[in-house]
Structure 1
Amino acid sequence: MAQLQYKDLLDAGVHFGHLTRKWDPRIAPYIFMEKNGIHIIDLNKTLSLLEEASNAIKQIVRSGRKVMFVATKKQAQEVVADEAKRLKMPYVTERWLGGMLTNFATVRKSLKKMSSIEKMMKEDTFTNMAKRERLMVTREKEKLQKILGGIADLTRLPAALFIIDVKREHIAIAEAHKLGIPVFAIVDTNSNPEVVDFPIPANDDAYKSIAIITQAIGRAIEEGLQERKKDKDDQKLQEEEETKRQVDNASRKQAPAAVAAETDETEAEATDAEDNA
């Protein structure tokens, strides 16, 4: 993975925090200085914590589990959705439904309902409906798709959350804590880094800042997926070699028995020939 440099973060405006009067004192260890009434984030710590988060999230993905992206603020929606889709990971960019994690069984029912509506819309039944009924079904499908489309393929709880704005997504964080799901998050100077497991101090308002951090996490996930594929290929190769070895061993054991049987048969034929003579 190409490592981000200090200058990359600087150019993306990752270091710009909020007004000093809006700060959360618990973010103090990650603040470099105050300038013109704005807190400046220590980018060396951002780089260090981003690397730590990347390594941890890579191992989660390597084990075959999913990471859910969560970003409902407007400037983060597009970049987060694009990265999640590219990696085939679940995402929430419209609205966090209360209980999306803690009441996942109910959410799955809604996902099944959305799936059944999509299936019905491809059949003749939908075509034969009255115009008003078709409109109602279409609207319901669009509503479900808007809220749940990003998690349509999610069959079980995610193994981790990647969040853009800690204050905005506090409900998602609370649900993750309740279930013991680790949270990776961009944490600005107006937020408490202690509420997440892997805080990444950075500007969570500017598009460029959100994009550069999200894409760095995306590359770590991509690496995890590649390593998982390699692990599976290596395991398959190992199993094939083991099977071949077992076949070879069995063949070696059968060979002496075949030779002995052939010898016995030859001796028997010789004996029969003597008797006939």
Structure 2
Amino acid sequence: MASRSLLRRIAQQHSPVAACTRVFSTARPLRQEAASDLVPPSTSEVKKPIWRSLAESAGPVTPYNLSIGRLLAAGLHLGHSTALWEPATLPFIFGTRQGISIINLEHTLVYLRRACNVAREVAYRGGSILFVGTRPGFQDLTIDAARRCEGYHVSSKWIPGTLTNAQQVLGRHAPPDPENPGRIPKTFKPDLIVLLNPLENRIAISEAQLNMIPVIAITDTDYDPRLVTYPIPANDDSIRGVELIAKVISTAANDGVLRRKQLLDKRSRQH
């Protein structure tokens, strides 16, 4: 009996199962520490909304970094209700969603770049540009756009006869000549008009047509783009979108002004 109990004790001390469990128990904490070292806890910040990341990805908007993402972030793709749809805007419409026309921003980008080229060339040739934005909320951005390119602005109400009867209309508001107070002040017409809300300024468009003045205008899905010279199919109700368009066009015009000044300085140095 003593020999049998002794054999059982020896077998329990040298059992392979017991040895295996001891090795497995000592290896588990080492693997957990290695995994914790390879995958540190995440400390990244919450991601920004998609429209904000699109608007801030490339810095301030200019005529040279325009993209569909920036136009989309400004809400320029949202048109009016299909009940107000103008059939002439069909080539610019991507589709409809929940009764609202969706503007194809690929066309918006092309027409906006063309408008920038026109404004730049007019300013480069010494022409004057008039910005018109009479809708509430457009006054400040209209004035800023005109100042950016040394242009002119109408930010309150378009007075009928401003172009067709300029001497009578503008003569009442122009300061008198100190040398000859009785003389009628000189007036001149703009070479280009940038119209931010054409729906409320049909008279301005008619006067521009009578005087052969080209017009750049934001045309929404409820306005006929054939009534202006250079339409820009976009949402004209978004203040952020209208500000983007006005800023881009005025920046392009400012580039033309700077190029003209450099050219004149170069010619003056040569002579």
TM-score (norm 1): 0.70
8 Å contact 2:149–2:251 — kept in the other structure?
no
Superposed displacement of residue 113, structure 1: 4.5
Superposed displacement of residue 155, structure 1: 4.0
Instruction: Supply the distance in 1 between the matched residues of 2:186 and 2:201 (Cα, whole angstroms).
Output: 20
Give the RMSD, CA atoms, in angstroms.
1.9
User: Where does residue 73 of structure 1 map in the other structure?
Assistant: 135
Indicate whether 1:16 and 2:78 are aligned.
yes
User: Where does residue 252 of structure 2 map in the other structure?
Assistant: 220
User: Where does residue 94 of structure 2 map in the other structure?
Assistant: 32
AA in 2 matched with 1:204: D
Match of residue 84, structure 1, among 139, 146, 149: 146
Instruction: Supply the distance in 1 between the matched residues of 2:186 and 2:123 (Cα, whole angstroms).
Output: 15
Percent of residue pairs bearing the same amino acid type: 34
User: Where does residue 3 of structure 1 map in the other structure?
Assistant: 65
Match of residue 118, structure 2, among 56, 72, 86: 56
Correspondences of 1:223-234 after superposition (within 5 Å): 223-234=255-266
User: Where does residue 99 of structure 1 map in the other structure?
Assistant: 161
AA in 1 matched with 2:210: K
8 Å contact 1:75–1:205 — kept in the other structure?
no
Correspondences of 1:115-126 after superposition (within 5 Å): none
The alignment of Structure 1 onto Structure 2 pairs a total of residues equal to 204
Higher CA-based Rg: 2
The 1:154–1:208 alpha-carbon spacing in structure 2 relative to 1, beyond 3 Å, is: farther
Structure 2 residues not aligned, in runs of 5+: 1-62
8 Å contact 2:196–2:242 — kept in the other structure?
yes
- Secondary structure in 1 aligned to 2:117? helix
Match of residue 240, structure 2, among 170, 188, 208: 208
Instruction: Supply the distance in 2 between the matched residues of 1:175 and 1:155 (Cα, whole angstroms).
Output: 16
Instruction: Supply the distance in 2 between the matched residues of 1:176 and 1:214 (Cα, whole angstroms).
Output: 19
Indicate whether 1:112 and 2:144 are aligned.
no
TM-score (norm 2): 0.72
User: Where does residue 178 of structure 1 map in the other structure?
Assistant: 210
8 Å contact 1:20–1:38 — kept in the other structure?
yes
Superposed displacement of residue 114, structure 1: 7.3
Superposed displacement of residue 165, structure 1: 1.6
Superposed displacement of residue 237, structure 1: 2.6
Moved more, 48-57 or 76-85: 76-85
